[in-house]
Amino acid sequence: MKRVAVLTQPLLALVAAFVLTTLALLSTGVSPLEAYRLVLFGAFSTPVRLSDMIMLAAPLLLCAVGLSITFTGGLYNLGVEGQMIVGAIAAMVPLRLWPDWPPLLLWLIAALSGAAGGALWALMIGILRRYAGVSEIFAGLGMNFLAGGLALYMVLGPWRRQSSASLSGTDLLPRELWLPTIDRLRLVPAAPVIALLALVIVWWALTQTRWGLEVRAVGLNPAASERLGIATTRRMAETLAACGALAGIAGMLQVVAVHHALIPNISSGIGLLGLLVALLARANPRWLLPITVAFAAFTVGSIQLPLTLGIDSAIAGVLQGALVLFALATRIRQ
């Protein structure tokens, strides 16, 4: 019976999500079949859209992989969006200070700086939880707003455009500091490689090492883990730092591979979408890649909806949210 439930629960969640989304589409007088064709397959219709999907999937996978670590450790790190933003800001620092340095060295320094910025921002959530008794959920949400304000301040203040301050972002980085891009595709091969490498490393660390075993134990029962001699507080801090570091690298990629500048909305909601991916995957690294690709495809495919069908592209968010909602609902009795 348990094996049957494992097979039927995802199917039930999928059917329920499509039923809800179909009802939403019918209420607007739009053909659901045409909308689903665009949402599900639009990202694969041209090489440019496929490359856009890959460039969205790379930072999304980094955030989802990081969240799989904190979820495994029993922490709901809703501050991943802010960690991504701070990572982007930190990555901009060496790029602006030393633009004449060799690009390869600067990319490495920017990645390390972004990872450090994201990790430190995440550790502040741990400090609030440990010493102020603030839930990591509320602390993370508050830190997200603070990070967004910091990005806006940097764009309009110290790093404003030379001509005039603009909400469109800072001046573009010198072209030689952009990560190598395949011509006319907007595809940076390094981005998916970094994301896949992070996925493999985290899968190995969580499933094949003593550290991963202790993180899982802390996530299941922190009090019992403490009695067994596991440094519970340290492991929680490490999971937060690891998640923040991966989110910070995602922010760095947004700077050097996508926007080539710091913009106020540098995270583009990717961190929050990563939460949906991690929840749907139940923090299982084996499911993170296919779900990430699916969510990225939904998002890119939905961009054609306003032009083709005259409806808002947010319908992809309805489908994504419904999938997570019904997937969680089917597990309530487990």
46 and 110 both lie in a single domain: yes
Structural domain containing residue 130: 41-310
State how far the Cα of 252 lies from the Cα of 260, in Å rounded to an integer: 10
165 and 288 both lie in a single domain: yes
The total number of structural domains in the chain stands at: 2
Q: Residue 141: which CATH number?
A: 1.10.3470
Phi-psi region of 179 (alpha: psi -120 to 50; beta: other; left: phi over 0): beta
Whether 278 is in a domain gets the answer: yes
Whether 35 is in a domain gets the answer: no
220 and 317 both lie in a single domain: no
249 and 326 both lie in a single domain: no
Asked if 222 and 228 touch (Cβ cutoff 8 Å), the reply is no
Question: Tell me: the pLDDT tens digits for 136-187?
Answer: 999 999 999 999 999 999 998 899 887 765 677 899 999 999 999 997 888 9
77 and 106 both lie in a single domain: yes
Question: Tell me: the pLDDT tens digits for 276-314?
Answer: 899 888 888 889 999 999 999 988 988 888 877 777 777
Helices 190-208 + 47-72 axis angle, to 10: 20
108 and 19 both lie in a single domain: no
113 and 147 both lie in a single domain: yes
304 and 171 both lie in a single domain: yes
State the pLDDT at residue 61: 97
Place of tokens 């080539």: 260
295 and 317 both lie in a single domain: no
Whether 110 is in a domain gets the answer: yes
Whether 36 is in a domain gets the answer: no
Query: How sure is the predictor about 320, in pLDDT bands with cuts at 50, 70 and 90?
Result: confident
113 and 218 both lie in a single domain: yes
205 and 284 both lie in a single domain: yes
7 and 55 both lie in a single domain: no
What is the pTM (predicted TM-score) of this model?
0.92
